Amino acid sequence: MKELSDIERYEFKKKLDEIKSCKGQHTELISLYIPPNRQISDVMNYLRNEYSQSTNIKSKTTRKNVLSAIESIMSRLKYFKKPPENGLVFFVGHKTAGANQTEMVTYVIEPPLPVPSFLYRCDSSFYTQPLEDMLAERDVYGLFLIDRRECTIGILRGKRIETIDYLTSRVPGKHGRGGQSQRRFERLIEIAAHEWFEKCGKKISEIFLGEKDLKGIFVGGPGPTKYYFVEGDYLHYEIKNKIIDIIDTGYTDESGLRELVMKISEKMHDLKISQEKRIMRRFLKEITKKKKSLAIYGEDEVRKALEMGALDTLLISEGLDKYRVKLVCDSCGYEEEKTTDKAEIKKMESNPPKCKKCGGNMVVKEKTEIVEELSRKAQEKGTKVELISTDSEEGSTLLSTFGGIAGILRFEI
Ligand code: ZN
């Protein structure tokens, strides 16, 4: 299956969040999924049928809203001879917009992956699950750490480390008092350890078997216990077969998971997280050079280099919650672009700033998320784009120290 790029995923997710936030007052929001191989005429027939059934809806407003939503879909569908490559998804209806107000919304989506099956649903919210499934991260690995005292189970999803479970044992230490009772004591310890490993094996197997598309498993922990555990008869055979590597870590708790991921990312170069760490390290190395540094940061600097075609790689933080807005003077037409945040945009909309040229009102004409705007510009210029998460240490450095926007140059400028 095709993998979405980070940017596609990011943009798609933002759109979905917006669609998900729409709420209808009654069951009057329509979701329609059309797979690529479905005939448009079939869909039209289906909608005509839904339309005539909806004329029976008792509540007058609901009926009116549902009928107009179906009409709207049908009038748009007329322009298609057949569904696009991946099919088509409609979300249409009257969403609530403040006190007793509704607003008609229409989303027509050409999804990044094929629509799996036909679906029509009328509800008080839009049904987005099939699209969310398309967003599911496919770069997924199981992680666990084990010794005789602790066991931590986690999952690496793309660049994200999730802690799933943490178990602790009551296996006593090996040192007793010696003599006859010492042997008995050691025997009891071994029984307790065996029970502990069985418990962990069961839990680990259960969690990882429930995770479809697991690409592999990494094991960590201090000392030889982890090898003993993996070789023993504790894990489900399918899980055992998925183990890629066993690595020494200093810890068996949550911090051990991060330690494990750090170590595997150095060895496994095709992991998403490895790629991110690699590029951030290159940037940090460049930035500390006193001479001939190819690293730049800050929006203005990066924009300038981008315009010049001098930027090799754009580094942009997922955590950047900013917009690029275009303001146009409503009397002389003077235009201005600026980067700002949501709160500031609200302010500008209710209290427009004055035009530099004529003193008229500057009206917000377009607003685009900065991540989207800059990555599009970069793509036009043939600049590589790296969307950097805030999960890794390097990633949060990009946001906190460098303002979330940085780059590596093709040549010195
Ligand atoms: Zn003006």
- The string of DSSP codes covering 211-237 is STT--EEEEEESSTHHHHHHHTT-S-H
Cα 377 to averaged position of ligand 1 atoms, centre (Å): 27
Cα 328 to averaged position of ligand 1 atoms, centre (Å): 8
Q: Is the Cβ–Cβ distance between 250 and 222 less than 8 Å?
A: yes
Please give the Cα distance from 215 to 26 (Å, whole number). 43
Q: Hey, CA dihedral for 81, 84, 86, 89, is it positive or negative?
A: negative
Cα 323 to averaged position of ligand 1 atoms, centre (Å): 23
Cα 351 to averaged position of ligand 1 atoms, centre (Å): 16
Paired tokens of 398: 């990009």
Cα 329 to averaged position of ligand 1 atoms, centre (Å): 5
The highest-confidence range among 185-189, 265-269, 297-301, by mean pLDDT, is 297-301
Contacts (Cβ under 8 Å, ≥6 apart) of 183 = none
Please give the Cα distance from 50 to 69 (Å, whole number). 11
Q: How many residues does the chain have?
A: 413
Angle of the 254-267 helix axis to the 272-288 helix axis, nearest 10: 80
Mean pLDDT of 160-168: 93
Other residues' Cβ atoms within 10 Å of the Cβ of residue 16: 19
Cα 337 to averaged position of ligand 1 atoms, centre (Å): 14
Please give the Cα distance from 145 to 256 (Å, whole number). 7
Q: Is the Cβ–Cβ distance between 383 and 306 less than 8 Å?
A: yes
Cα 347 to averaged position of ligand 1 atoms, centre (Å): 19
Q: Evaluate if residue 271 carries a pLDDT over 70.
A: yes
Q: Evaluate if residue 1 carries a pLDDT over 50.
A: no
Given this model, what pLDDT does residue 275 score?
83
Mean pLDDT of 69-94: 95
Exposure string of 234-248, with b = 16+ CB inside 10 Å and e = fewer, is bbeeebbebeeeebe
Please give the Cα distance from 256 to 42 (Å, whole number). 55
Cα 338 to averaged position of ligand 1 atoms, centre (Å): 16
Q: What confidence tier does 178 reach under pLDDT thresholds 50, 70, 90? A: low
Cα 304 to averaged position of ligand 1 atoms, centre (Å): 26
SS3 content of the chain, % helix, strand, coil (to 5): 40, 25, 35
Cα 157 to averaged position of ligand 1 atoms, centre (Å): 50
Q: What Cα–Cα distance (Å) separates residue 15 from each residue in 2, 11, 126, 128, 343?
A: 20, 6, 13, 11, 20
Mean pLDDT of 292-310: 94
- What three-state secondary structure class fits 356? coil
Which of the residue ranges 34-43, 178-187, 373-382 would you say has the lowest mean pLDDT?
178-187
Q: Evaluate if residue 269 carries a pLDDT over 80.
A: no
Q: Evaluate if residue 155 carries a pLDDT over 90.
A: yes
Cα 301 to averaged position of ligand 1 atoms, centre (Å): 28
Angle of the 6-20 helix axis to the 370-380 helix axis, nearest 10: 150
Q: What confidence tier does 304 reach under pLDDT thresholds 50, 70, 90? A: very high
Stated pTM of the model? 0.66
Q: Evaluate if residue 326 carries a pLDDT over 70.
A: yes
Cα 368 to averaged position of ligand 1 atoms, centre (Å): 23
Q: Evaluate if residue 122 carries a pLDDT over 50.
A: yes
Cα 341 to averaged position of ligand 1 atoms, centre (Å): 23
Q: Is the Cβ–Cβ distance between 100 and 108 less than 8 Å?
A: no
Q: Is the Cβ–Cβ distance between 386 and 276 less than 8 Å?
A: yes
Q: Evaluate if residue 180 carries a pLDDT over 70.
A: no
Give the chain's domains with CATH numbers: 6-135 (3.30.960.10), 140-268 (3.30.420.60), 285-409 (3.30.1330.30)
Q: What confidence tier does 335 reach under pLDDT thresholds 50, 70, 90? A: very high
Mean pLDDT of 382-403: 88
Cα 362 to averaged position of ligand 1 atoms, centre (Å): 7
Please give the Cα distance from 138 to 159 (Å, whole number). 11
Cα 365 to averaged position of ligand 1 atoms, centre (Å): 14
**Burial environment of residue 183 by CB neighbours within 10 A (0 to 12, 13 to 18, 19 or more):** exposed
Q: DSSP letter for 5, please.
A: P
Cα 346 to averaged position of ligand 1 atoms, centre (Å): 21
DSSP letters spanning 159-216 = TEEEEEEEEE--PPPS----SHHHHHHHHHHHHHHHHHHHHHHHHHHHHHHTSTT--E
